[in-house]
Amino acid sequence: MAEYAVELRNVWKRFPGPGGEVVTAVKNVSLQIYDGEFFALLGPSGCGKTTSLRMIAGFELPSEGEIFIHGRPMGKTPPYQRPVNTVFQSYALFPHMTIGENVAFGLQMKGVDKKEIERRVAEALAMVRLSGYEKRKPKQLSGGQQQRVALARALVNRPEVLLLDEPLGALDLKLRKEMQLELKRLQREVGITFIFVTHDQEEALTMSDRIAVMEGGVALQVGTANEIYEHPNCRFVADFIGETNFLDGKVAEIDTDKARIDLPGGISLWAHTPQRVSVGQAVTVTVRPEKMHIRPNATDVNQVTGYVTDIVYIGTDTHYGVVLNGGQTIRVREQNYSAESRLLAREGEEVCVRFSIEAARVLTE
């Protein structure tokens, strides 16, 4: 029964807006999050990811639909009776309590025995490498340390699910990278399901077992980092995760899971079609820049010609901007295997850009 740690079933959330209108923050979202999984809710601000997390925590109640935690429907259960704990974006450490008191708070509220509290607080602080900080106040700690206290304060209660609301948002880049690995290590150590909200696609790709990409209150696609990057199911997901090229055209010919797409300027190319398309339909083809090549390669079926508009050398790669005959612009990323690699083309030169059928995906929405 309880194979999912958390399940959202057709969940909607509507808020009264500032002008009296109804704002729908979450639209018919259904998610299944497995036990022990590191799951990310990824999307731009206002996409409904934080609202979804807050509904799991119980700070907001769904307008429609139901949330299950290990198979138990949550209904109107208040936050303090839910078997989950939250790490807040602002950490929300109690400023009037010491670090030890902060971490002990949840256990005290649960009525855990004093000796046991002491033991578990010490253990939790050791886990986040803050032993010996018990007597300090939150203000005396750095941002990264406060972040770890917030983690310890949540994990010490051994929740069934840990909810993290952009927990690394306030840290600088270097510390964020460190904490990403630290979080991943902690999650493996404690084996608790982590649900993680972020707007940073790189962070989501680095840390998560699976990702739900959200936009406008809708969960557009759920899958592993690889699935979402390689097989985006819509234009938004392809664009949001990593860099990509879009080429607009019309379906000219269909061959099982492939189709020939005609672009303006007399260009035509073959692309993989995961969804059903019909001849004459207007579609978008997406091709990742690193899957396009200026370097000759016999296996690549698709060949489009254009003029190099700009060249950016960034060390590991060289990026070429190419304007195609039909006026559409693409970016090509060539890896620099050797010191001369960047001499593949010059600005203004006519080039032939090649890519495989598999690299090109037809998107219908």
In whole angstroms, the minimum distance from the beta carbon of 276 to another protein comes to: 46
Q: Would strands 218-223 and 245-255 be described as parallel, antiparallel, or unpaired?
A: unpaired
Max Cα–Cα distance, the chain, nearest Å: 78
Residue 76 makes contact with another protein by CB under 8 A: no
**Looking at residue 199, what DSSP letter applies?**
S
Helix axes 143-155, 99-110, angle to 10 degrees: 20
In whole angstroms, the minimum distance from the beta carbon of 71 to another protein comes to: 21
Could you please report the per-residue DSSP string of 276-314? ---TT-EEEEEE-GGG-BSS--TT--EEEEEEEEEEEE-
Residue 81 makes contact with another protein by CB under 8 A: yes
Contact 261, 252 (CB under 8 A): yes
- Using CB under 8 A as the binding rule, the residues of this chain from 307 to 336 that contact another protein are none
In whole angstroms, the minimum distance from the beta carbon of 340 to another protein comes to: 56
Q: Which is nearer to another protein, 93 or 241 (CB)?
A: 93
Rg for the chain, CA atoms, rounded: 25
- Binding span for another protein by CB under 8 A among 74-82, 205-213, 222-230, 335-343: 74-82
The dihedral sign for the CA sequence 296, 302, 308, 310: negative
Residue 233 makes contact with another protein by CB under 8 A: no
Residue 137 makes contact with another protein by CB under 8 A: yes
Give the contact letters, 95-124, x = binds to another protein (CB under 8 A), - = no: xx--------xx--xx--------------
Interface residue with another protein among 16, 45, 80, 174 (CB under 8 A) is: 80
Residues 6+ apart with CB under 8 A from 190: 127, 155, 158
Residue 61 makes contact with another protein by CB under 8 A: no
Q: Residue 26 and residue 290: Cα distance in Å, rounded?
A: 34
Can you count the helices (H) and strands (E) in the chain?
Answer: 8, 19
Q: Which two tokens stand for residue 35?
A: 């036990």
Contact 8, 65 (CB under 8 A): yes
Q: Would strands 72-73 and 64-69 be described as parallel, antiparallel, or unpaired?
A: antiparallel
Residue 135 makes contact with another protein by CB under 8 A: no
Residue carrying the six token digits 């598999």:
358
- Binding span for another protein by CB under 8 A among 152-160, 202-210, 217-225, 349-357: 152-160
Interface residue with another protein among 12, 88, 246, 307 (CB under 8 A) is: 88
Interface residue with another protein among 50, 51, 52, 86 (CB under 8 A) is: 86
Interface residue with another protein among 8, 31, 57, 259 (CB under 8 A) is: 57
Q: Which is nearer to another protein, 84 or 359 (CB)?
A: 84
Q: Which is nearer to another protein, 95 or 266 (CB)?
A: 95
Residue 79 makes contact with another protein by CB under 8 A: yes
Residue 78 makes contact with another protein by CB under 8 A: yes
In whole angstroms, the minimum distance from the beta carbon of 75 to another protein comes to: 16
Contact 314, 364 (CB under 8 A): no
Instruction: Residue 342: name the closest of 323, 361, 314, 309 by CA.
Output: 314
Q: Using CB under 8 A, list all residues that contact another protein.
A: 57-59, 78-81, 84-86, 88-90, 92-96, 105-106, 109-110, 137, 139, 153-154, 157
